[in-house]
């Protein structure tokens, strides 16, 4: 890390004399970013206090969303690890059972999603700002997909299910769902707003609202 700086500059930065800085920089000349610890060097034990501040077990966390025969979502945000709130990040672990669907998902806070498939396979559909599909593809274990800000997306699990880890550039834990459930943006919209925004008839708007209320961000396999 120090290799490349002059002996004189290092001496000024660390208040060393010339002999000390020359020895320090000579010892740095063969070091790389990855180093092997010499035998006999005792490394410090991990701090439980630091671990609690920086480590969070998503696998063992209580799901914030759980749908029978559909799957579940576990999340970590600034509420769990203060540092995430400071840097403006949050993360989700999503597990979908075979045939289940997540979404449509939409976030209105200009955050982006970066998701890594840890198990299984499925389909990812991302729609752009003007209603044009920008991605409709199969994803498998080891794949990474990126969702730009303001782009709604859907993940559909294959028969064997799918699991993925998603990092979001927002410290907020919640999704802005276009799907069903109490947090759906459609649930809060008035019938007249639904009719105007989705070009619905009053009867269809009423039916749509009733189905939204019964749904969730994860939909179990459909029998349709």
For 68-82, how does the pLDDT look when each residue is reduced to its tens digit (9 = 90+)? 999 999 999 888 888
Strand, coil or helix: what is 32? coil
| Integer Cα distance of 222 and 101 in angstroms | 9
Cα radius of gyration rounded to whole Å, the chain: 25
Please give the share of the chain, as a percent, with pLDDT higher than 90: 31
- Global model pTM greater than 0.85: no
Q: pLDDT of 124-160, one tens digit each? A: 999 998 889 999 999 999 999 999 988 989 999 999 9
Confidence of residue 177 (pLDDT cuts 50, 70, 90): low
Q: Which tokens go with 28?
A: 């740095």
pLDDT at 212 over 70: no
pLDDT at 31 over 60: no
Pair 90, 78: CB distance under 8 Å: yes
Confidence of residue 39 (pLDDT cuts 50, 70, 90): confident
pLDDT at 28 over 80: no
- Homologous superfamily, domain 56-174: Jelly Rolls (2.60.120.10)
Give the pLDDT of residue 33: 67
Residue carrying the six token digits 């979404």: 103
pLDDT at 118 over 90: yes
Q: In degrees rounded to 5, what are phi and psi of residue 10?
A: -65, -40
Domain map (residue ranges) of the chain: 1-32, 56-174
Confidence of residue 214 (pLDDT cuts 50, 70, 90): low
- Nearest CA to 124 out of 149, 143, 110 is that of 143
| Integer Cα distance of 161 and 7 in angstroms | 58
Pair 164, 115: CB distance under 8 Å: yes
pLDDT at 29 over 60: no
DSSP letter for 11, please: H
Strand blocks (E) in the chain: 65-67, 71-76, 90-96, 101-106, 113-127, 133-140, 144-147, 153-168, 176-177, 218-219
Which of 80-89, 133-142, 203-212 shows the lowest mean pLDDT across its residues?
Answer: 203-212
Give the pLDDT of residue 111: 86
Q: In degrees rounded to 5, what are phi and psi of residue 108?
A: -95, 10
Alpha helices in 29-175 (DSSP H): 48-54, 82-87
- Nearest CA to 65 out of 183, 164, 160 is that of 183
Please give the share of the chain, as a percent, with pLDDT higher than 70: 82
Strand, coil or helix: what is 192? helix
Report the first-to-last Cα separation within the chain, whole angstroms.
60
Q: Which tokens go with 103?
A: 């979404």
């Amino acid at each position: 890390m120090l290799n490349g700086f002059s002996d004189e500059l290092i001496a000024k930065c660390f208040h060393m004399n010339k002999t000390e800085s020359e020895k320090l920089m000579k010892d740095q000349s063969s070091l790389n970013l990855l180093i092997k610890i010499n035998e006999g060097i005792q490394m410090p034990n991990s701090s439980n206090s630091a671990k609690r501040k920086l480590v969070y077990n998503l696998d063992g966390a209580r799901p914030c969303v759980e749908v029978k025969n559909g799957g579940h979502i576990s999340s970590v945000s600034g509420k769990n690890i203060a540092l995430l709130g400071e840097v403006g990040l949050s993360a989700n672990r999503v597990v979908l059972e075979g045939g289940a669907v997540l979404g449509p998902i939409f976030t209105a806070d200009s955050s982006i999603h970066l998701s890594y498939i840890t198990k299984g396979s499925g389909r990812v559909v991302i729609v752009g700002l003007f209603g044009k599909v920008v991605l409709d593809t199969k994803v498998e274990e080891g794949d990474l997909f990126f969702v730009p800000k303001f782009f709604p997306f859907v993940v559909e699990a294959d028969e064997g299910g799918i699991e993925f880890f998603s990092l979001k550039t927002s410290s907020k834990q919640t999704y802005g769902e276009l799907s069903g459930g109490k947090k759906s943006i459609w649930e809060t919209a008035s019938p007249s707003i639904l009719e105007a925004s989705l070009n619905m008839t009053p009867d269809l708007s009423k039916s749509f609202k009733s189905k939204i209320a019964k749904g969730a961000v994860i939909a179990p396999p459909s029998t349709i």
